[in-house]
Structure 1
Amino acid sequence: MTETLSTENGRTVLRMRRELRHPVAKVWRAITEPGQLAGWFPAAVEFDLRLDGPVRFTFENDPEAPVDLETSGVIRAYEPPNLIEYTWGDEVLRWELVPSSDGCMLNLTATYDDRPGSASFSGGWTLCFDALVRVLGDSVPERDYAVLHEHFVKVYGLDEGVVTDDCGVRFERQLVKPKETVWELLTGAGTTAAGSPPPAGFVAKGIDPGPVTEVVAAERLSYPWSQGEVTWSLRDGNGGARLVLTQTGPAADYLSTWHDLIETLTAELVR
């Protein structure tokens, strides 16, 4: 695969490219005409194909949703049939076509702020590219989104936590299943309530936990340890739950054990 991830001017930049066995003109139609975009792009798109022309994105499950910053954009660069760049909310998508001896090279540059979501974006665009290849008339095997997602997590190092300035530990991890499914795996068969011991799924090796101090099912659980507090937070993310785990106090020694626990959880979610 050809994906790269970098930080430029404080924003995350994802670059992907694909060799296509079709001429530039044919691929240009596939990436700009609504009828062809419908076969591979993650939303329905309406372009006013000119520099500064407006763009509207519509999702099938809510076609009547009002146009706002998340469902609209503007064309920032337009040089047919080789380049189109437009915004999608706060994200910038730049598509470039370069002729080659066998067809053309398609280059996508996506610029956004949600670095922890990069595995989700890369996995999603990979499946979109596969669908694009089919729209162009070629065949490509089906791939599993969850497997792709976890591949990119490892490639980009998104499974690594950080030691915070106050010597605590923090992990932010996009997951591939809804938060309700994640919560069920973490809690096991039992129920969880304030004042009770936290379920084993929430406790890293070597930590002697105190009783749960806060619990909101499928969203949040906190408990003390000898030198601080552990908090698990789940919210809806792109393609599944977004997990944020923090441990306050001098917690750097627990970085690897938390990593192992989260990886065990994610392996269960991919099965």
Structure 2
Amino acid sequence: MNETLTTENGRTVLRMERSLHHQPEKVWRALTEPKELGGWFPAAVELDLRLDGRISFTFPEEQDDTDGNVGVIRAYDPPRLLEYNWGSEILRWELDPTADGCLLKLTAIHDDRPGSASFTAGWIQCLDALDRVLGGSSIPREHYALLHEHFVKAYGLDQGTVLDDGSIHFERQLTAPKEQVWPALADPAFVAEGIERGRLLKSDEPVELTYEWQHGTVTWHLRDGNGGARLQLTQTGPAKQFLDPWHDLIETLARNLATTTAAS
């Protein structure tokens, strides 16, 4: 497996490759036939298999199409190339023949860079399932949560930023739901070294927590993300010196949540 993450024309581009011991024509059927897709793709797919044909994606809990779950086939050259959009995301599948099968290339273009580790871990598991559906012998990899944390580090998605006004900001995808994350944030002891946690300004469980510190405010936001809660931290005031302490605290939390999720 080979994974890279870049930014091109203002969008995030995830590229993945997988060597398969199956001929392109066989893999092509798995990429384009709804019955075959049902064995490995993350959603049920219906498609009009032609250039500009409509494609729709349905999850079991959803009853109706939404704008985010429909798309159009943008490139179609069987059995070599298939490209379509899934809402705002673009997925491009390419098959290059090899001596013993083919090389599958996936290019996924999206705007949610903090979610890229989730997308990578999820597609790895999907491609493992694809290989098994085709009759291959892919060995299941680590639990999704542990794969996710590996790619957070590999892509540098654990880093915070210093804003122009001296505030700092973190956005971090986690592998547990926000209800499981909230107790840690609400614990008065969960604070970066050097910060005195002051008066509580807002507590909206399990969505937002804001309190004062010596020179400003600390605000936590939680929302549903891909595979778990999306955490955001903003500390106002002259906060640059707290970038590393918050990083270490958030990463300890993320690691503990991933370990718990993988063990459950």
What's the TM-score, normalizing by structure 2? 0.96
State, as a whole percentage, how many aligned pairs show the same letter.
Answer: 62
Which residue is equivalent to 1:268?
A: 256
Q: Structure 1 residue 206 and structure 2 residue 175: aligned? A: no
Shift of 1:139: 2.1
CA contact (8 A) 2:223 2:230 kept: yes
**Residue 116 of structure 1 aligns to a residue in which SS?**
helix
- Counterpart residue type for residue 243 of structure 1: L
Greater displacement, 240-249 / 203-212: 203-212
Alignment of 1:99-114 (within 5 A): 99-114=97-112
CA contact (8 A) 1:69 1:90 kept: no
- Counterpart residue type for residue 44 of structure 2: A
- Counterpart CA distance in 1 for 2:5 and 2:255 is 23
Q: Deviations over 1:58-92 (max 9, x none)?
A: 11122x22x22111000000001100000000000
Among 206, 225, 242, which residue is 1:254 paired with?
242
CA contact (8 A) 1:76 1:86 kept: yes
Q: Structure 1 residue 32 and structure 2 residue 21: aligned? A: no
Q: Deviations over 1:212-235 (max 9, x none)?
A: 110001111011111111101000
- Counterpart CA distance in 1 for 2:237 and 2:185 is 23
Shift of 1:247: 0.5
- Counterpart CA distance in 2 for 1:61 and 1:39 is 18
CA contact (8 A) 2:42 2:126 kept: yes
Which residue is equivalent to 2:164?
A: 165
- Counterpart CA distance in 2 for 1:114 and 1:52 is 25
- Counterpart residue type for residue 10 of structure 1: G
Which residue is equivalent to 2:152?
A: 153
What's the TM-score, normalizing by structure 1? 0.93
- Counterpart CA distance in 2 for 1:223 and 1:68 is 38
- Counterpart CA distance in 2 for 1:232 and 1:267 is 18
CA contact (8 A) 2:186 2:209 kept: no
- Counterpart CA distance in 2 for 1:262 and 1:68 is 34
Q: Structure 1 residue 240 and structure 2 residue 212: aligned? A: no
Shift of 1:3: 0.5
**Residue 55 of structure 2 aligns to a residue in which SS?**
strand
CA contact (8 A) 2:166 2:238 kept: yes
Shift of 1:267: 1.3
**Residue 183 of structure 1 aligns to a residue in which SS?**
helix
- Counterpart CA distance in 1 for 2:137 and 2:179 is 36
Q: Deviations over 1:171-215 (max 9, x none)?
A: 000000000001123335xxxxxxxxxx212x1111012121100
- Counterpart CA distance in 2 for 1:171 and 1:184 is 19
CA RMSD between the two structures: 0.9
Q: Structure 1 residue 177 and structure 2 residue 170: aligned? A: no
CA contact (8 A) 2:37 2:45 kept: yes
Alignment of 1:81-120 (within 5 A): 81-120=79-118
Which structure 2 segments of 5+ residues have no match? 260-264
Shift of 1:140: 2.2
**Residue 2 of structure 2 aligns to a residue in which SS?**
coil
Which residue is equivalent to 1:15?
A: 15
- Counterpart CA distance in 1 for 2:257 and 2:186 is 14
Shift of 1:102: 1.4
- Counterpart CA distance in 2 for 1:2 and 1:252 is 35
Which residue is equivalent to 2:129?
A: 131
Q: Deviations over 1:18-61 (max 9, x none)?
A: 00001000000011110010000000001101000000101112
- Counterpart residue type for residue 34 of structure 1: P
